[in-house]
Amino acid sequence: MTDGDYLVIISFASLSCAGDMLVIVTWLSFGSYATNFSVRYVAYAAIADVIASGMCITNQIHAAPTEPLLCSGFAVIQWASNFATWLWTAAIAHSFRKCFLERSADVKPGQECLAHLICWLLPFVLISLAIAFGASFGADPRISANASDGQCDWQSSSGLNVVTDVSADLIIDGSLLSVAAYNCWAFASVSQMMTSASNEADHMLRTSMRSTSIEAHSVHSGDTTEPLAGTSRRLSLWRPFMAYVFVFIGSQGPGVVWNVVSDARPRMSAPQILLTVFYCLANSHGWLNAIVYGLTNRRLADRWRQAPALVTTLVCTICRPWHQLRMRTSSFSGSY
């Protein structure tokens, strides 16, 4: 790659970092005002993605450090974060489908705890599996640690061990393809359930509107108002779910398809500009998610518009105990 290619990749990774940080800060500051579970789940994915993007930027700017253990740590952290980001995307799709299936508008606490265990621990299981098959994490042994193009990465293409190369392809491409396939399946499944829920909501609305007398209204309102509200809340989850699935497929799909094609036909080569585009798309996940996050969470957007007043309130709240202590001290001194 040329210096220009590296600069473009760094720019996209930096945008993702900025988008991820915006999501994280929004969740930490105003998350209690949002009732949608995706506010939390997308923030968890952003935490993983900001680490991966940060390590990507570090790798593109600096050569591999001379300390092998440090370089190996960089590579492990980056790939664990990549896997965690993909898994949290699958967790988002799973939770959306679960909400429609169980006719609820939020996930159960036990499901969220299980998602944390899987999404944060499974990446290290996959990395351990890769190491067991002969992969290494760190600088390419064929490149000097002081070389400008030396990077801390997953090193598997030794050309000597077919098992190592194949296992790396299966773990990386298999994980991405599995998450993509699950997202597509969940999308199709929720689409069918959404059509059914929409018909159900229309039926409830027509039933409620036909209630003309007070007695009929008292009977029907108790039976339809609450289910209708729950159905409407589930239907409101459809747009963000669809957007998150499209963002994941659009950003990660082209790269993984090329990986599969290039593995199947090793002699095939792509233009450098096309590879750069794949890298840029893969590093666009964070800022694209941030756009969807802002557009589909109006309550959080409204809180940001009130940010100056909130900051003033926060500062006053922090300063109030100190001001009260100062007033008590001055009154105590004045008594003499």
Between 200 and 216, the higher pLDDT residue:
200
Between 321 and 318, the higher pLDDT residue:
321
Instruction: Output DSSP code: residue 108.
Output: -
In a domain, 315, yes or no: yes
Alpha helices for 265-306 (secondary structure H):
272-282, 285-295, 298-305
Q: What is the CATH number of the domain that holds 118?
A: 1.20.1070.10
Confidence at residue 235, expressed as pLDDT on a 0 to 100 scale: 64
Q: What is the pLDDT of residues 57-87, one digit of tens each?
A: 887 776 656 677 888 888 899 999 999 999 9
In a domain, 334, yes or no: no
Q: What is the pLDDT of residues 178-193, one digit of tens each?
A: 998 998 898 888 878 7
Is the Cβ–Cβ distance between 249 and 285 less than 8 Å?
no
Confidence at residue 9, expressed as pLDDT on a 0 to 100 scale: 85
In a domain, 332, yes or no: no
Q: What is the pLDDT of residues 131-179, one digit of tens each?
A: 888 888 887 655 544 444 557 888 765 555 677 777 887 888 888 889 9
In a domain, 333, yes or no: no
In a domain, 253, yes or no: yes
In a domain, 240, yes or no: yes
- Which pair of tokens denotes residue 27? 């969740």
In a domain, 138, yes or no: yes
42: domain range?
3-326
Confidence at residue 207, expressed as pLDDT on a 0 to 100 scale: 62
Confidence at residue 205, expressed as pLDDT on a 0 to 100 scale: 55
Torsion of CA 119, 121, 126, 132, to 10 degrees: 180
Q: Which of 246-260, 267-281, 297-311 has the highest mean pLDDT?
A: 246-260
Nearest to 40 by CA among 26, 53, 59: 26
Torsion of CA 87, 70, 23, 125, to 10 degrees: 10
- Residue 227: pLDDT band (50, 70, 90) is low
- pTM for this one? 0.76
**Into how many domains does the chain fold?**
1
In a domain, 303, yes or no: yes
